[in-house]
Structures are given as structure tokens and as C-alpha cells.
């Protein structure tokens, strides 16, 4: 996409990230996948935001670690993608869905995961998730990942609410070179890109 720029979250401002995380995403602060349902549910939104701010290191371009990427259309913040080592996502580790038929260590630090992506209202349905998935995979690869996974949803042409699609659509992962590892539920796939 013309004018699209993707940066590690530490190179984005906290205000820009918060401009993307509105509605349900603003309440979540991208912590549900990391904390798991039980810890997330009882945590106040302000604490979720504080954790995300500490993990992203927004406004600190010298930081050596960050947990995601931020996309800009020209200079407008338009999308966020959480990507980190797979083992830090408590909800992924604790769910039986991604592990059906698989025999591997969920804590393997060489495998990263794209856990969530949010496109800001007003910029949806423009194909931004394609660029996000490709950039997230490159972000993981450049930080030493041997592989990166995603857990996208099959939309099947049906009506899917945006909050449900925060895992991304299958097409974006296919376009970035991911392959299907398993199809554990009717609408959910596990997809992987090995480097």
C-alpha cells in the first residue's frame, strides 16, 4: 500500500498506539492473550494499559525489546499487531485448540506468535492485515525466530464481527507464505511460517 509504514512499537508513540486501540481493543489493551482469561478478566483496564506500555516501550526507540508493531498510513496510526515469543501468550499455551494433534513444546522460545491485530476504525477493509502479517513475520525473523505462527479465522464469506477477527483472516497469512499446520475447529486454523 502506498504511504504505509510499519515500525516496531518502541518507535511509535504511546498516544499513537492508544489511537488504534479503541472500543473493545481499548478495554483489552492486548493483554487477554498474554494473561489468559482469568487474570485478564479481573484486572482493571488501567493496569492492562500499564503492562502494555511497559512491554511495548513506546516512545523509546533505543529499547532493545518490544512486543509488537504499529502501522502508519502516511503519518496517521492505523494498525497494531502483537507479535512475540509464543510462550508468553498464556491464553495460547492454556488452550487445547492450538495444540490438537501437535506434539511440541509450547514454550519453545524460537517459535513466535502473531496473537492479535487491530486495524483502526475508518481504515478497515482496505487490506491492511496483509501488510501487518508480513511485517510481523519479518519482525519475528529479524529478532531470531526460527518460525512464527498465527491462529487466523476462516470467514467463509459470512458476517464476522471485527472483535472476533482480531486473530486475522486466513488470506493474510496465506499471502505471507504461512502454511496450515492444523484445523482444530470449524473456523480456526493454526498456520506457520518457518524461516
**Domain range spanning residue 79?**
4-194
Domain count, the chain: 1
**Least confident span in 81-90, 115-124, 140-149, 152-161:** 152-161
pLDDT at 190 over 70: yes
What mean pLDDT, rounded, does the chain reach? 90
Any long-range contacts for 37-41 (C-beta under 8 Å, 24+ apart)? Answer: 37/91, 39/90, 40/91
What the block records as the C-alpha cell of 39 is: 487474570
The answer to whether 92 and 98 are in contact (CB under 8 A) is yes
Distance between CA atoms of 111 and 85, rounded to whole angstroms?
6
Q: What integer pLDDT is reported at residue 161 of this predicted model?
A: 57
User: The C-alpha cell of 153 is what?
Assistant: 479465522
Task: List pLDDT tens digits, range 68-114.
Answer: 999 999 999 999 999 999 999 988 888 888 888 888 898 999 999 99
The average pLDDT across 155-177 equals 78
Kindly state the average pLDDT of the residues 113-133.
Answer: 91
Q: What percent of the chain clears pLDDT 90, i.e. is strictly above it?
A: 61
The model carries a pTM of 0.92
Share of the chain above pLDDT 70, in %: 95
Please enumerate in sequence order all residues whose Cβ is within 8 A of that of 88, keeping only pairs 6 or more positions apart, or say none: 34, 67
CA distances from 2 to 7, 72, 115, 122, 162 (A): 15, 11, 26, 17, 24
pLDDT given at position 2: 77
Q: For residue 62, what are the β-bridge partners? A: none
Q: Is 114 helix (H, G, I), strand (E, B) or coil?
A: strand
Does residue 36 register a pLDDT over 90?
no
14-38: average pLDDT? 90
Helical H runs in the chain? 14-20, 23-28, 32-35, 37-42, 45-56, 90-94, 128-142, 170-175
Q: Over the stretch 39-54, which tens digit does the pLDDT of each residue have?
A: 888 889 999 999 999 9
Which domain CATH number covers 126?
3.40.630.30
pLDDT at 178: 97
Spatial separation of the C-alpha atoms in residues 26 and 23, rounded to whole Å: 5
CA distance 86 to 67: 11
Q: How many residues does the chain have?
A: 195
Mean pLDDT of 109-134: 92
SS3 percent helix, strand, coil of the chain, rounded to 5, is: 40, 25, 35
Contact 161, 75 (CB under 8 A): no
pLDDT on residue 99: 87
Amino acid at each position: 500500500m502506498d504511504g504505509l509504514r510499519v515500525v516496531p512499537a518502541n518507535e511509535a508513540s504511546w498516544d499513537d498506539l492508544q489511537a488504534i486501540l479503541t472500543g473493545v481493543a481499548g478495554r483489552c489493551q492486548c493483554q487477554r492473550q498474554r494473561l489468559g482469561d482469568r487474570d485478564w478478566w479481573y484486572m482493571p483496564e488501567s493496569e492492562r494499559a500499564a503492562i502494555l506500555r511497559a512491554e511495548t516501550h513506546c516512545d523509546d526507540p533505543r529499547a532493545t525489546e518490544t512486543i509488537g508493531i504499529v502501522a502508519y498510513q502516511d503519518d496517521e496510526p492505523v494498525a497494531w499487531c502483537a507479535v512475540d515469543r509464543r510462550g508468553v501468550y498464556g491464553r495460547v499455551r492454556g488452550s487445547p485448540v492450538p495444540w490438537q494433534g501437535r506434539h511440541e513444546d509450547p514454550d519453545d522460545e524460537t517459535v513466535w506468535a502473531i496473537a492479535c491485530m487491530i486495524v483502526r476504525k475508518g481504515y478497515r477493509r482496505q487490506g491492511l492485515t496483509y501488510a501487518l502479517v508480513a511485517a510481523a513475520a519479518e519482525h519475528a525473523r529479524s529478532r531470531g525466530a526460527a518460525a512464527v505462527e498465527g491462529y487466523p479465522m476462516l470467514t467463509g464469506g459470512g458476517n464476522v464481527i471485527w472483535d472476533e477477527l482480531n486473530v486475522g483472516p486466513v488470506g493474510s497469512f496465506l499471502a505471507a507464505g504461512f502454511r496450515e499446520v492444523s484445523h482444530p475447529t470449524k473456523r480456526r486454523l493454526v498456520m506457520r511460517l518457518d524461516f
